[in-house]
Amino acid sequence: MGGDLGPKAVVEGIGYALKRWPERQTRYLLHGDEAALGPLLLKHPKVAAVCELRHSDTLVQMTDKPAEAVRRARGSSMWNAIQSVKSGEAHAVVSSGNTGALMAISKVILRMKKGIHRPAISANWPTPKGHTVVLDVGANVQCGATQLVEFAIMGEAYHRAVFGGEHPSVGLLNVGQEELKGNDIVREADGLIRNSGLDMAYKGFIEGNDISAGIIDVVVTDGFTGNIALKTAEGTARLVAGWVREALTSSFFAKLAAGLLALGALDRLKRRMDPRYINGGVLLGLKGIVVKSHGGADGEGFASALGLAQVMAKSDFMSQIRKNLDKFASFEEQDIAAAS
């Protein structure tokens, strides 16, 4: 029911997902207002054929504060959708709704995995070679060093689960100048990752320009910096796209050129620059798969989030994450024992 376009984006998104991945036999539980969803399904019979509608009387508003949402959410479409993962009816939940509420209700219903303090939101960041996983992109605006280590563990397992790499490389986002080796928390996290015996290809500090370069598989940062980096990149891509568009419409010759380009290359360029194709952040660290679709996503965008949820559900992320979490837990126990 959430997001700027509401149920329309969801139903159309399922339609696009069916077209994009016809081989995946995904079925959907649609939680929401029957009066809104029913007519949409009538218009999209192919979507209706793979959906089961579950009516809910209430919904979480985009403006609800997380704590309020948790108190009032029982029986809402968001609550019921997450509950269907808890009960085992669904393998994953995808929502365009209120991010803070989604996180808070997921924590209440699904609970955190042992050894993880709070969920982190991941983003799949395009590079010339594929994708870099960046986390946290907005769940935790104030992080301690231990949380950054948890993000590294989750991000590494997530990269293996979604992109299938064997030993994804992990970097900690920091500032570049030699004289400024970053703030205390980043330095402490660097020491923790190096010393806690994790099974991880840890590469140390990386800089902002490395994210898009494709030289690192997983970028770890706090939710404040990560959110700003992600949105700054979106803004920059939009700026450059505007310049390209201007260049392609600036004169008769330019328009002719654009016409020639449209025969193929420009379409590919447009698609690459289209954030809808990389939509979907996973709330990592929960005992269940929760995917957040961008609130502004349309059907194309929502389909990308559905595709990501499908890949996560098929993967062994949940078990992959365990080994390093256990290693870190025993390192921390030794550390506490040594200190006392």
Q: Which of residues 11-50 bind its own copies (CB under 8 A)?
A: none
Give the residue with the Cβ less far from its own copies, 29 or 273.
273
The verdict on 283 binding its own copies (CB under 8 A) reads: no
CB of 270 to its own copies, least distance (A): 9
d(CA 147, CA 332): 13
Q: Which of 166, 184, 337, 338 binds its own copies (CB under 8 A)?
A: 184
The verdict on 98 binding its own copies (CB under 8 A) reads: yes
d(CA 15, CA 9): 10
DSSP-derived secondary structure letter, 179: T
Tell me which residue of 87, 142, 88, 93 sits closest to 118, measured CA to CA. Answer: 142
Give the residue with the Cβ less far from its own copies, 22 or 264.
264
Choose the binding region for its own copies from 46-54, 77-85, 161-169, 174-182 (rule: CB under 8 A): 174-182
The verdict on 265 binding its own copies (CB under 8 A) reads: yes
Give the residue with the Cβ less far from its own copies, 75 or 242.
242
Give the residue with the Cβ less far from its own copies, 46 or 238.
238
DSSP-derived secondary structure letter, 212: T
Number of residues that bind its own copies (CB under 8 A): 76
Query: What's at 103, amino acid-wise?
Result: M
CB of 71 to its own copies, least distance (A): 14
CB of 188 to its own copies, least distance (A): 13
Give me the DSSP letters along 262-321.
Answer: TTTHHHHHHHHT-GGGG--EEEETBSSEEEEPPTT--HHHHHHHHHHHHHHHHS-HHHHH
CB of 255 to its own copies, least distance (A): 9
21 phi, psi to nearest 5 deg: -130, 70
For 70, counting Cβ atoms within 10 Å of its Cβ (0-12 exposed, 13-18 middle, 19+ buried), the class is buried
d(CA 232, CA 134): 14
CB 47 within 8 A of CB 41: yes
CB of 326 to its own copies, least distance (A): 30
CB 193 within 8 A of CB 150: no
The verdict on 108 binding its own copies (CB under 8 A) reads: no
Residues 212-241 that bind its own copies (CB under 8 A): 212-213, 221, 223-225, 227-241
Q: Which of 35, 42, 263, 339 binds its own copies (CB under 8 A)?
A: 263
d(CA 209, CA 221): 14
Choose the binding region for its own copies from 9-17, 46-54, 93-101, 279-287 (rule: CB under 8 A): 93-101
Residues 118-157 that bind its own copies (CB under 8 A): 126-128, 138-139, 141-142
Give the residue with the Cβ less far from its own copies, 23 or 179.
179
Residues 185-214 that bind its own copies (CB under 8 A): 207-213
Residues 49-78 that bind its own copies (CB under 8 A): 62-63, 65-66
Residue in the block written with tokens 């042992």: 114
